[in-house]
Structure 1
Amino acid sequence: MNKRSQEFSWVGSQVNFVDQLNTVKLGEIVVGRYGGNSSSGSYKNEDGCLVWLNEQQDWEFAILLDAHNTAESAELVIKLFEIAESEIKHLLSLPAKHLTFKKIEEKVLSLFLAEEVLSACRNITGETACLIVARKGQYVWWFSIGDSVLYLFHEELAAMGQYQLNQRQFYEWIGEVNTFELDVPCYSVGVRELRTGKNRLFLTTDGLIECPNEPYADPASIYHSFNDTQADEGIITSMLETIKDQQVRDSTTIITWNVDVFKEATMPSDQ
């Protein structure tokens, strides 16, 4: 594996991690997985994820999937993006201008709206939420279908009470029930400038935030879990241990990494 260019993909139908905590590190990115407690009724895992990164070209690309009924929809989405891998990586290699993200958005739409993909979705069982995130330079872009969450943690934003980038949307999916079959496809998209200094991007499926007793329902509790004295893998393992101790049933998948920005971020004119 090229140290500067790495990739990883997984679907819960491959390894379900029921009763088992797992973390994987790729460059600066940590992926955390937990399949829920069997004592609470968990017996399968329908999450999935895909991660690509290129340190030399200064970008990361991540997909987080939370399927239900079966994992077939998560498998389909990952396969779809692996087929389009070279084209998407080419777009990410371009300068970090808005047009780059616009082209990625257009590519994602073309994938989901292709007739052969719509047809394939009609012939599988179950559907998935899909959160796609790309970071290039001091900007992050996201494309969100459904209820997985993207947080941006930074001390300046936390001081203003701002943590979450996307809005959770219920009743949106890709798969057997497919909101891209509507007359107008429904999804959310956005671009955000990162702040000067240390920024943390944090993606999670809803198992973490809907855990019994809600230890991480407040995004501030996730933000304050991170510190400079403990490695990210240890922090993610600790979070997964917490929800395990709370007898979580739903599976949880987390993707997180830090981005250091040295350019001055936008500030008010009177400061």
Structure 2
Amino acid sequence: MIHVSAFVHPSVKIPDSAVVGPWCLVDEGAEIGEGVVLESRVHVYGGVNIKPETHVYDGAVLGAPPQDLKYAGEETRLEIGAHCTIREYCTLNRGTVQGGGCTRVGDQVLIMAYSHIGHDCQIGRGAVIANGCQFGGHVRIGEFATIGGVTAIQQRNQVGAYAFVGGTYKVDRDVPPCTKASGTPIRYCGLNLHALRLHPEEFPEERIRNLEQAYRMLYRSGRPASEVIEELKKGPEHLFQAFFDDHWAGSIVRP
């Protein structure tokens, strides 16, 4: 259903199961999946692909050009997964050629009101981003991570899978997977056991014990971080291994 006041470019195919609400704009080159709902005054730019059953609330702007001075009008993309919820007045920018050309939001992501997702960000499946978060370009959020409200993440930083970042903080370094982070400056404060135990198939108790041991080695042992990282790479916990192998992973800052 397309509201009479909405404008949808004639080349864009809107499935019968989708809803385009009052005063929405859907530009040439946009792709709208089955069951997508656009509430009022949503602007979907060209180069945006919204997968099925995603719900976008009033005033959101999806796929505006990247806020990067190097951007010279190249065709880039924003991909939004299935079963996502994007609340009021969120802004999600397209990617840049230098950053791979695509900003991606995985399936089942919740982005709460007034949040900004900068160019080339990669948001993992099941992540929760609370109200008023501001992400610079190239930020990565792992699957099932949670970012508290009014938190700013500096460009090119990474929050690992199943991690939790408290509200109102500035994240200026990488946050390892499965950990909790808060404070100014940001500090790590243990494992995010609540999230781990919500996924018992992925995190049986034995694996949680392995993660706790790895965390103690990294942040409580007093040993050189480089030595501990090399030891962890030989151990059973692949989440930490992958994180520290990743060239985006920042330096270890102990609490």
Q: Per the shorter chain, which TM-score range?
A: under 0.3
TM-score normalised to the size of structure 1?
0.23
Higher relative contact order (CA 8 A, sep 6+): 1
User: Which is richer in strand?
Assistant: 1
User: Which is richer in helix?
Assistant: 1
